[in-house]
C-alpha cells in the first residue's frame, strides 16, 4: 500500500513541477526539487530531473543540461541501466540543441549501447535515427548517416512500428532534399505521410505536409506549396506544435516574397520570429534571422539587413555553429560591398572563407553522389522486406485472434482466483506485520529499561565505592591529626609506637590498590563515556578524564580531594582548567554538561 501511495505522490509532484513555473514567483525548478525530493528514492529523483530538463530546455538550455547531468549521476549511483540510457539520450538531445554536435554524438552512442544491452529495440531505433541526422549535419558524412538510417529502418520493420518507419522515411527524404534531389525526396515524404495518415499521427502528418510544401516551393510551384503549408499549419495550431508552426510561417513568408507581396511576407516572418523567441531555439532563431536579412537585402533595405546579419552572427558565434557563422559572415560581406564599405566587406569575407573550403566541399559532394546510388538500392530491398512482413503479419494476426479469445476467457478465470488469493495474503501479511511491530516495540522497551537499570546499578556501585574511599580517608586523616596532637614524652617505646601508627595511616591514605580498583571500575563502567569524551576533547590528560568521571558521579570538590589525597583548592583549579579546555560558558554547570555527553 505504501509503495502505491509513493507512486501516486511521485506523479502528482512531477505534474506540479511541470506546470508550476508560471505560477510560482522567484522560485526556480531546482529549488522546488530540493524542497520535495528529500523523501524520494534515487530512481524517483532521476525521473524528476529528466522531467525538469525536458521542461526547461526551451527556456534555459544550460540549466536543462545541468538537470540531465544530475540524472546521469543518480543513474550511476543507483546502477540503473535504463536510467543511464534515458539520461544520456537526454544529454544528446540538449547538446544537439546547443549546436555542440560531438558531445551529442558521444552521448547518443552511449545511449544506443545501453538500449541495445537492455533489449529496448524501439528506443535503440530512435537513437539511431538521431545519430543519422547528426552524422550528416555535423560533417556531411552521408555514408555514416545512411548506415544509421538503415539500422533504424531495419528495427522499425522488425518491430512493425509504423511511426518509426515513417520517421525514418522522412529523415531519408531530408537527405535527398538537401542534395536537391526533389523527386526522391518527394517519394519518401509521401511514403511517410501515407503511414502517418493511416496511424492518425497529427504531428507526423504536419511534418510531412510541410516538407512536401518545401519541395513545391523549391520547384517554384507556389500555389501547391501554399496548399500543403496551410494543411500543415492547421494541424500545428490544433496540436500547438510551435517549432513547426514557426517554420511553416517562415515558408509562407518566402512564397509571399516571391510573389512580390513584401509587406505580407514580413508579417509572416515577424509571427515566426515571435514563436521562436517564445521557445528560445537558438538554431532556428539564427536561421530565421538569416532569412529575414536576405529578404531585406533583396529589397535593398541594407541597414535592416546588416542589423539582422549581425544579430545572427553574434548568436552563431556564441554557439560555435560554423555553418551559420560562415553564412552570416558571407551575408555581411555581400551587404557591406553593396553599401561601398569595402573594408568591412573584406574582413567578413575572410571570416566566411575560413569556414567554407570549396575544395573540401566538392570532395564531399562527389562522395555523396557516389553513395546515393548504393543507398537507394538498399532502401528498395528494405521496402520489399516491409511488404513481405506485412503479408506474414496479416496471416499471424488472424491466428492470434482465435488464440486471444481463448486466452481472454482463461485470463478472466485466473484473474479472479489470483485476486482472491492476493487479497487474503495481503490481509494476513498486514496482521502479521502488526504483531511483529508490537513485539518489536515491547522488546525495545524491555531492553531500554534493562539498560537503564544496569547503568543506574553501575553508577550506584561507583558512587558507593567512591564514598567508601572518602569515608575511609577522612577517618584516617582525622586519626593522623589526633596522633600528631599527642605529646611526645620521654617514653621511647610510646614514641616509636606513635610513629609507626602515623606511618601506617599515611600508607593507607596513599594506598594504590584502592585507587587501582576504583580506576578499574571506572574504566569498565564508563568505557563508552570515556570514548565519547576523547572524541570530543582529545587533548585531555588521564587525571582530567578521571576528574570528569568524578564530576559525572556528582562528587563534590571536597570528596574528590579526599579520594585523591590532595587539597580542595587543587581540585578547584583542576575544574577551572577543565572548563577552559571545554570552553564552557559561565552559566553552564560542569557536572550537568558531563552527564549529557
Comparison of pLDDT for 431 and 464, the residue scoring more: 431
What is the reported pLDDT for 21?
Answer: 36
Task: Give the whole-angstrom CA distance, residue 457 versus residue 591.
Answer: 19
Mean pLDDT (whole number) for 164-190: 90
For the domain spanning 1-119, the CATH number is 1.25.40.10
* C-beta of residue 334 within 8 angstroms of C-beta of residue 306: no
Summarize pLDDT for 99-144 with one digit per residue, the tens. Answer: 788 888 899 999 999 999 999 999 998 999 899 888 877 666 778 8
Q: Looking at 353-362, 446-455, 481-490, which range is the least confident one?
A: 353-362
What is the reported pLDDT for 353?
Answer: 85
Non-local CB neighbours of 427 within 8 Å, separated by 6+ positions: none
Q: Looking at 39-48, 109-118, 228-237, 326-335, which range is the least confident one?
A: 39-48
- Between 1.10.10.10, 1.20.150.20, 3.40.50.1970, 1.10.8.50, what CATH number should domain 526-597 receive? 1.10.10.10
Comparison of pLDDT for 517 and 442, the residue scoring more: 442
Task: Give the whole-angstrom CA distance, residue 134 versus residue 488.
Answer: 114
Q: Looking at 4-8, 95-99, 298-302, 593-597, which range is the least confident one?
A: 4-8
Mean pLDDT (whole number) for 220-248: 94
How confident is residue 301, by pLDDT bands cut at 50, 70 and 90? very high
How confident is residue 14, by pLDDT bands cut at 50, 70 and 90? very low
CA dihedral 227, 230, 235, 236 (to 10 degrees): 140
How confident is residue 9, by pLDDT bands cut at 50, 70 and 90? very low
How confident is residue 390, by pLDDT bands cut at 50, 70 and 90? low
Q: Looking at 288-302, 372-386, 537-551, which range is the least confident one?
A: 372-386
Task: Give the whole-angstrom CA distance, residue 549 versus residue 515.
Answer: 14
What is the reported pLDDT for 369?
Answer: 41
| CATH 1.25.40.10 segments of the chain | 1-119
What is the reported pLDDT for 355?
Answer: 76
Q: Is residue 384 predicted with pLDDT exceeding 80? A: no
Q: Looking at 225-239, 333-347, 447-461, which range is the least confident one?
A: 447-461
How confident is residue 446, by pLDDT bands cut at 50, 70 and 90? confident
Mean pLDDT (whole number) for 458-463: 68
Mean pLDDT, the chain, rounded, equals 81
How confident is residue 368, by pLDDT bands cut at 50, 70 and 90? very low
CB atoms within 10 A of CB 529: 17
pTM of the model: 0.50
What is the reported pLDDT for 204?
Answer: 95
What is the reported pLDDT for 48?
Answer: 92
Q: Is residue 50 predicted with pLDDT exceeding 60? A: yes
* C-beta of residue 336 within 8 angstroms of C-beta of residue 355: no
Q: Which residue's C-alpha cell is 490544433?
A: 238
The percentage of the chain sitting over the pLDDT mark of 90, rounded to a whole number, equals 38
How confident is residue 577, by pLDDT bands cut at 50, 70 and 90? very high
3-class secondary structure, 490: coil
Task: Give the whole-angstrom CA distance, residue 172 versus residue 129.
Answer: 10
What is the reported pLDDT for 313?
Answer: 93
* C-beta of residue 57 within 8 angstroms of C-beta of residue 64: yes
What is the reported pLDDT for 491?
Answer: 67
Instruction: Give backbone dihedrals phi and psi of 285, rounded to 5 degrees, phi first.
Output: -65, -45
If 0-12 CB within 10 Å is exposed, 13-18 middle and 19+ buried, where does residue 71 land?
buried
Q: Which helix (H) or strand (E) holds 563?
A: helix 557-564
How confident is residue 575, by pLDDT bands cut at 50, 70 and 90? very high
22 sits in the region (left: phi over 0; alpha: psi -120 to 50; else beta) called alpha
* C-beta of residue 152 within 8 angstroms of C-beta of residue 131: no
Summarize pLDDT for 395-417 with one digit per residue, the tens. Answer: 778 788 888 888 889 989 999 99
How confident is residue 176, by pLDDT bands cut at 50, 70 and 90? confident
Task: Give the whole-angstrom CA distance, residue 227 versus residue 242.
Answer: 19
Triad 212, 146, 188: Cα angle to 5°? 20
What is the reported pLDDT for 28?
Answer: 43
| CATH 1.10.10.10 segments of the chain | 526-597
What is the reported pLDDT for 374?
Answer: 42
Comparison of pLDDT for 504 and 205, the residue scoring more: 205
Amino acid at each position: 500500500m505504501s509503495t502505491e501511495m509513493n507512486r501516486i505522490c511521485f506523479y502528482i509532484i512531477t505534474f506540479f513541477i511541470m506546470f508550476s513555473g508560471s505560477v510560482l514567483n522567484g522560485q526556480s525548478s531546482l529549488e522546488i526539487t530540493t524542497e520535495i525530493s528529500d523523501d524520494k528514492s534515487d530512481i524517483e529523483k532521476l525521473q524528476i530531473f529528466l522531467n525538469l530538463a525536458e521542461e526547461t530546455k526551451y527556456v534555459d538550455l544550460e540549466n536543462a543540461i545541468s538537470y540531465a547531468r544530475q540524472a546521469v549521476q543518480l543513474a550511476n549511483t543507483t546502477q540503473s541501466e535504463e536510467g543511464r540510457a534515458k539520461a544520456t539520450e537526454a544529454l544528446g538531445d540538449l547538446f544537439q540543441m546547443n549546436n555542440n554536435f560531438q558531445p551529442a554524438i558521444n552521448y547518443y552512442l552511449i545511449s544506443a549501447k545501453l538500449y541495445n544491452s537492455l533489449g529496448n529495440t524501439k528506443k535503440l531505433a530512435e537513437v539511431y535515427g538521431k545519430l543519422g541526422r547528426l552524422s550528416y549535419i555535423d560533417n556531411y558524412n552521408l555514408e555514416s548517416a545512411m548506415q544509421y538510417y538503415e539500422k533504424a529502418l531495419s528495427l522499425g520493420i522488425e518491430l512493425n512500428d509504423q511511426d518509426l518507419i515513417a520517421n525514418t522515411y522522412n529523415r531519408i527524404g531530408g537527405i535527398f532534399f538537401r542534395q536537391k534531389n526533389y523527386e526522391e525526396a518527394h517519394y519518401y515524404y509521401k511514403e511517410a505521410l501515407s503511414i502517418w495518415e493511416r496511424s492518425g499521427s497529427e504531428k507526423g502528418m504536419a511534418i510531412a505536409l510541410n516538407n512536401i510544401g518545401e519541395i513545391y516551393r523549391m520547384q517554384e510551384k507556389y500555389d501547391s506549396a501554399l496548399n500543403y503549408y496551410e494543411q500543415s499549419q492547421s494541424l500545428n495550431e490544433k496540436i500547438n506544435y510551435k517549432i513547426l508552426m514557426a517554420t511553416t510561417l517562415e515558408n509562407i513568408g518566402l512564397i509571399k516574397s516571391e510573389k512580390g507581396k513584401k509587406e505580407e511576407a514580413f508579417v509572416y516572418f515577424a509571427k515566426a520570429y515571435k514563436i521562436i523567441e517564445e521557445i528560445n531555439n537558438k538554431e532556428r532563431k539564427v536561421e530565421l534571422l538569416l532569412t529575414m536579412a536576405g529578404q531585406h537585402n533583396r529589397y535593398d533595405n541594407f541597414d535592416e539587413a546588416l542589423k539582422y546579419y549581425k544579430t545572427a552572427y553574434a548568436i552563431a558565434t556564441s554557439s560555435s555553429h560554423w555553418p551559420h557563422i560562415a553564412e552570416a559572415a558571407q551575408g555581411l560581406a555581400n551587404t557591406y560591398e553593396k553599401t561601398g564599405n569595402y573594408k568591412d566587406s573584406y574582413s567578413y569575407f575572410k571570416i566566411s572563407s575560413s569556414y567554407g573550403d570549396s575544395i573540401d566541399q566538392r570532395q564531399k559532394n562527389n562522395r555523396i553522389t557516389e553513395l546515393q546510388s548504393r543507398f537507394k538500392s538498399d532502401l528498395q530491398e528494405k521496402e520489399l522486406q516491409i511488404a513481405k512482413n506485412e503479408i506474414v503479419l496479416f496471416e499471424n494476426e488472424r491466428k492470434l485472434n482465435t488464440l486471444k479469445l481463448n486466452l481472454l476467457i482463461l485470463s478472466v478465470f485466473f484473474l479472479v482466483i489470483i485476486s482472491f488469493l492476493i487479497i487474503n495474503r495481503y490481509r494476513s501479511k498486514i496482521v502479521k506485520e502488526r504483531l511483529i511491530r508490537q513485539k518489536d516495540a515491547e522488546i525495545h522497551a524491555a531492553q531500554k529499561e534493562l539498560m537503564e537499570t544496569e547503568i543506574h546499578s553501575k553508577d550506584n556501585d561507583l558512587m558507593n565505592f567512591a564514598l567508601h574511599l572518602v569515608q575511609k580517608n577522612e577517618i584516617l586523616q582525622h586519626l593522623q591529626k589526633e596522633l600528631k596532637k599527642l605529646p611526645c614524652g620521654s617514653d621511647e617505646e610510646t614514641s616509636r609506637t606513635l610513629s609507626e601508627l602515623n606511618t601506617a595511616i599515611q600508607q593507607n591514605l596513599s594506598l594504590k590498590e584502592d585507587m587501582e580498583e576504583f580506576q578499574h571500575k571506572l574504566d569498565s563502567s564508563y568505557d563508552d563515556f570515556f570514548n565519547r569524551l576523547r572524541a570530543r576533547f582529545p587533548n585531555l590528560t588521564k587525571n582530567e578524564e578521571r576528574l570528569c568521571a568524578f564530576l559525572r558521579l556528582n562528587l563534590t570538590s571536597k570528596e574528590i580531594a579526599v579520594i585523591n589525597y590532595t587539597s580542595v583548592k587543587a581540585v578547584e583549579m583542576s575544574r577551572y582548567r577543565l572548563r577552559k579546555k571545554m570552553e564552557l560558558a559561565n552559566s553552564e554547570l560542569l557536572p550537568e554538561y558531563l552527564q549529557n555527553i
